Amino acid sequence: MKKLLLFGLFATILFSSCKKNESIEDKDIFVSNQTENLQIRFAKILAPALADNSELRSLIKSEALKMFDKDYDILYQLIKDKRVGEKTVSEFLSSYANSKEEFDAIEENLPLLTIFIPTLPNFTPINWNTSTEIPKVAVCLLTSGDIPYYDKYRNQSIIHYGLIPGFPIIVIKQNERVLVGQTKHQKSSNLSGSKYNFSFLDESFDGSKLDNTPTKGGYTTDPVNIEAYNLGMEWHRDYVYYGLTPTKVNGAYRNNYSEFITSFCMLSDSWLGKISDDSQDPFLKPSIANLKTPFWTDGFFEFKITVLINSTNGMDKTLTKYFSAKGSDLATVTYVKMGFMYRVDKVIRKRYNPNLELIPWDLKNYGMAWKFIVSEYDPKIELSETKEVTTQYALNFNLDLKIGLKFGAGGTRTEKTTFTYKTTKESDDLGEAILTFDQPIITGITTGLGGKYYITREISTGWCSLNIEPKRIY
C-alpha cells in the first residue's frame, strides 16, 4: 500500500494520446482485470464531466474535505444521489458514458469505487480553486508503477513511476478503509445513503469520531511517570499501578491508568524500501524495484499494531490497533521541479504521536512481557499467523494487593503461549518488539529551548520505534 507525498525518483515522462472522440470501450494497455478496466472507464467519464461542470468540481472538493474515512476520499456510492443542478451525480455522469448499460455496470461492480484528491507540491484538496482549476483524472492500478491519466477529451497520458504531478489531478481507486457486505464493525459506521452494507475496517477510520491525536505541539508524558522517575523507582510501573515507593512496598492495584502508544517513528531511510518491498520504492533503482502503485495516488499510510498479551486466566489477549498518518506526519519533504512534474529532493524523518490506548497493565493477571507486531496495512488477501510468546508471571500478590517491590519474595512462574492473529498478504511487515513491565518509562533528562525535557524509553522493531507509556484515564 503506497502513499502520498513522501517519495520520488528521477524518471522520464512519456505521453500517449487517443483520438478526441475515442470510444470509452477501447482497450487500454494498463488493463489487467475487470476492476481496473471499469476504473479506467469511470475516469474517462469523469474527466470531461469535471471539465464541463464547476458545480460537480465544487461537490467533489466539499465531499473530500469531509474526510469521512479520515482521508481525502469520496466513496462514490455515498454521493451518487446528490444533486448536480437538476440531475443526480449518477444521472449526470451517466450522460457521459457510451451507454446507460455501461455506466450501470460500473456502479454495480465497483461498490468501493473511490475518488481521491491527493496532496501534491502545488495542489491540495484545501487549495483547489474549483472555479478555474480543471483536474486531470488518474487511475490507481495495482499492476503498474506507471499511472494513466485522462483529460477532458479522454486523451490518455502517463505519469511514470517515481514522478509526482505538478498540475491538478484527482485519482480513481478502491477504498482500503471501508468494508462492503460485512457487519462486524457496523457499529462504528455512519455510512448511509447507499444500497450496500458498508462499515469501516476499524473505528479509527471513522471520520465522524473525534480524533484524540495530540496537537502539533507534541506529547507530554503523564505526571505519574515523572513522579516514578524522581522517586528513584527501579520499576516505574510499580508506582504507577500499585502506588509503591522505596518506603511503601505494599499497595493495591490502581486501574485508573492505562498503557498508550504515545509516539511512533521510522528509524532510517531504508524503511521506504521496506514498506515498498512488494511494490515500489522511489529510492530503489528501477532494476531492483518491482513497480506498482506510487505513493501519491493512495492517500495516508495505514499502520496496524498487534499486541500479544499472556493472561493467567487463559484469556490471552490479542489487541489490534490502527492509526493513519500523512506523509508530512512522518517526514519533512522537499521537492525538485522537473518540467510538469516533481521528484523528491530530501526526506527528514520526524516523530508522530498516535495516542492509542491499549489496556491497563494488571501485573497479577497479565504477564511481564507484551509483544508488539507492526505492519503498514493493506487489506487484501487475509492470512493467519502464529507467534509464540514466553513470559513470567509475578507471584507476590494477595488478592489485589501487591506484596513487595518488583517480584518481592513470591518469585515468578514462566509460561509459553502460542497466539494466532490475522494479517494480510500485501501488508508490509515492520517487525516486532517486546516491552516488559520492569522497563523504565523515563530514562533521563535533557535540556533545550523551553526548558527541561524527560526522555522516555523506546522499543524498536528494527524498522520503527514505539514509545509505550501509562497515562491517567480518569
Q: Residue 18 has what pLDDT?
A: 34
Question: What is the spatial distance between Cα 119 and Cα 125, in angstroms, rounded to a whole number?
Answer: 7
Q: Which of 155-159, 375-379, 428-432 has the lowest mean pLDDT?
A: 375-379
Question: What is the spatial distance between Cα 66 and Cα 64, in angstroms, rounded to a whole number?
Answer: 5
Decide if 380 contacts 424 (C-beta within 8 A). yes
Question: What is the spatial distance between Cα 65 and Cα 67, in angstroms, rounded to a whole number?
Answer: 5
Q: Residue 11 has what pLDDT?
A: 31
Question: What is the spatial distance between Cα 180 and Cα 124, in angstroms, rounded to a whole number?
Answer: 28
Three-class SS string for the chain?
A: CCCCCCCCCCCCCCCCCCCCCCCCCCCCCCCCCHHHHHHHHHHHHHHHHHHHCHHHHHHHHHHHHCCCCCCCEEEHHHHCCCEECCEEHHHHHHCCCCCHHHHHHHHHHCCCEEEECCCECCECCCCCCCCCCCCEEEECCCCCCCEEEECCCCCEEEECCCCEECCCEEEEEECCCEEECCCCCHHHCCCCCCCCCEEECCHHHCCCCCCCCCCCCCCCCCHHHHHHHHCCCCCHHHHHHHCCCCCCCEEECCCCEEEEEEEEEECCCCHHHHHCCCCCCCCCCCCCCCCCCCHHHCCCEEEEEEEEEEECCCCCEEEEEEEEECHHHHEEEEEEEECCEEEEEEEEECCECCCEECCCCCCCCEEEEEEEEEEECCCCCEEEEEEEEEEEEECCEECCEEECCCCCCCCEEEEEEEEEEEEECCCEEEEEEEEECCCCCEEEEEEECCEEEEEECEEECCCEEEEEEEEECC
Q: How confident is the model at residue 176 (pLDDT cuts 50, 70, 90)?
A: confident
Q: Give the range with max mean pLDDT: 199-208, 216-225, 381-390, 399-408.
A: 399-408
Count Cβ atoms below 10 Å from residue 238 Cβ, excluding itself. Answer: 23
**Residue 234 confidence (pLDDT) above 70:** yes
Q: Which of 187-191, 398-402, 403-407, 430-434 has the lowest mean pLDDT?
A: 187-191
Instruction: Give the residue among 211, 212, 193 at the shortest CA–CA distance from 70.
Output: 211
C-alpha separations of 362 from 231, 253, 259, 434 in Å: 21, 7, 10, 17
The partner residues of 370 in beta bridges, in order of sequence, read 309, 435
Dig out the grid coordinates for 267 from the structure. Answer: 528509524
For a pLDDT cut of 90, what percent of the chain falls above it? Answer: 51
Q: Residue 389 has what pLDDT?
A: 75
The whole model's pTM is what? 0.74
Count Cβ atoms below 10 Å from residue 412 Cβ, excluding itself. Answer: 13
Question: What is the spatial distance between Cα 426 and Cα 277, in angstroms, rounded to a whole number?
Answer: 10
Q: Give per-residue pLDDT as tens, 77-98.
A: 999 999 999 999 999 999 999 9
Q: Give per-residue pLDDT as tens, 236-291.
A: 999 999 999 999 999 999 999 999 999 999 886 655 544 544 333 333 333 223 33
Q: Residue 423 has what pLDDT?
A: 57
Q: Give per-residue pLDDT as tens, 53-71.
A: 999 999 999 999 999 999 9
Regarding predicted confidence, which is higher, 299 or 140?
140
**Residue 24 confidence (pLDDT) above 60:** no
Q: How confident is the model at residue 191 (pLDDT cuts 50, 70, 90)?
A: low
Question: What is the spatial distance between Cα 301 and Cα 212, in angstroms, rounded to a whole number?
Answer: 18
Dig out the grid coordinates for 6 from the structure. Answer: 513522501
Decide if 433 contacts 373 (C-beta within 8 A). no
